[in-house]
Amino acid sequence: MPHSHDAADSIDDAMEANSAGIRALKVSLVLMLITTALQAIVVAFSGSVALLADTIHNLSDALTAVPLWIAFVLGRRAASRRYTFGFGRAEDLAGLFIVFVIALSAILAAWQSIDRILHPQPLENIGWVIAAGVIGFLGNEAVAVYRIRVGRRIGSAALVADGVHARTDGFTSLAVVIGGIGVLAGLPLADPIVGLIISAAILVLLIGTIRSVGRRLLDGIEPELVDRVEHALEHVDGLVSIDRIRLRWVGHRLQGDALVTVDGRHPDAVDAAERSVREHLPNVDDFLVRGRVSGF
């Protein structure tokens, strides 16, 4: 289950290489903006803070596609004499912006909900509030179905994961429906309480995003990727030992190196090791293996 909006997690090679993947991002953005606009209209004449929290949540989800798209375009630019490693880090900067947007939305939603608990106000047009919650669910579900369908067709795991994420957000919109039903049942605080619950859901999303973005900025890597490199090297003839492995993400691509000890009777061991790593990690851009001869 995806739990963050890390920009680098939202792009993979399959989506990058296929125009359908980029179109999916654009269509998803339009669908979420339409959903958010319809919900905002209902917020204006109903005063529902639960619906406001859900609208803010959906708006922040839609807006995250903007820095992601900018980062994607920048990341495809060729390296220059000033930026010799290319522009893959733009995806990490996009992640920082997304963290800011999500944090702001969580604070705003929670503040409005707490204020409504301290200063209760009658909720108007409850039927429209319930309908807007259903609209939020249907909008997220439409985005989910579209992303998952396109992702599976082009083989993009990132796009499929984003689709599942949108489906999860859809159930958050259904909480607005529950709040509206609670108000109809004679529980006026149900609306702001649901608003707080949605704020908490946004906060959980924020924590996951901070962890993911922070790990990448510190060149953190998933241990299983290191295991795959070790596995690739262990099957190369002539390697006596693996002394060091380093990997890091640059956007949604991998870079790294390894220091190994080789048997002098296998002069091609280093080249074979590099080929083996590339076969086991298809999304690696640069991986250099340096070898020292055993006994020296």
The residue out of 174, 196, 217 marking a domain boundary is 217
pTM: 0.70
Domain identity same for 107 and 132: yes
Q: Tally the domains of the chain.
A: 2
Going by C-alpha positions, the residue among 176, 159, 190 that lies closest to residue 58 is: 176
Instruction: Tell me, yes or no, whether 20 lies in a domain.
Output: yes
Residue 283 falls within a domain, yes or no? yes
206, 252: one domain = no
Q: What is the DSSP string of 160-189?
A: HHHHHHHHHHHHHHHHHHHHHHHHHTT-TT
Given pLDDT bands bounded at 50, 70 and 90, which one contains residue 158? Answer: low
d(CA 45, CA 55): 14
The verdict on 231 and 183 lying in the same domain is: no
Does any domain span residue 194?
A: yes
Q: What is the pLDDT of residue 167?
A: 81
Q: What is the crossing angle of helices 90-118 and 65-75, to 10°? A: 170
Quick check: is 2 in a domain? Answer: no
Of 177 and 253, more confident: 177
125 in a structural domain:
yes
- Spell out the alpha helix ranges (H) of 47-89: 49-63, 65-75
If asked whether residues 39 and 147 sit together in one domain, one would say yes
Amino acid at 241: S
* 163 and 261 inside one domain: no
Domain edge (last residue) among 182, 217, 252 = 217
User: Is 25 a member of any domain?
Assistant: yes
Q: Within this chain, do residues 89 and 212 fall inside the same structural domain, yes or no?
A: yes
pLDDT, tens digit, for every residue of 235-250?
A: 888 888 889 999 988 7
Q: Do 211 and 227 share a structural domain?
A: no
CATH number at residue 17: 1.20.1510.10
**Radius of gyration from C-alpha coordinates of the chain:** 24
How do residues 102-142 score in pLDDT, each as one tens digit? 788 888 888 888 988 888 777 778 888 899 989 999 998 99
Q: For residue 22, what are the CA distances in angstroms to 65, 146, 151?
A: 11, 12, 11
Residue 87 within a domain? yes
Expressed as residue numbers, the domain containing 244 is 223-293
Of 183, 217, 251, the residue that ends a domain is 217
Asked if residue 250 and residue 123 are part of one domain, the reply reads no
Are 114 and 82 in the same domain? yes
Q: Are residues 197 and 230 in the same domain?
A: no
Q: Is residue 1 part of a domain?
A: no
Q: What is the pLDDT of residue 244?
A: 92
234 and 187 belong to one structural domain: no
pLDDT 10s digits, 34-86: 999 999 999 888 888 888 888 888 887 777 767 767 776 776 777 788 888 77
The answer on 103 and 71 residing in a single domain is yes
Cα separation, 152 vs 167, in Å, equals: 16
Tokens of 45: 């004449």
pLDDT at position 29: 84
Strand partners, 261: 241, 292
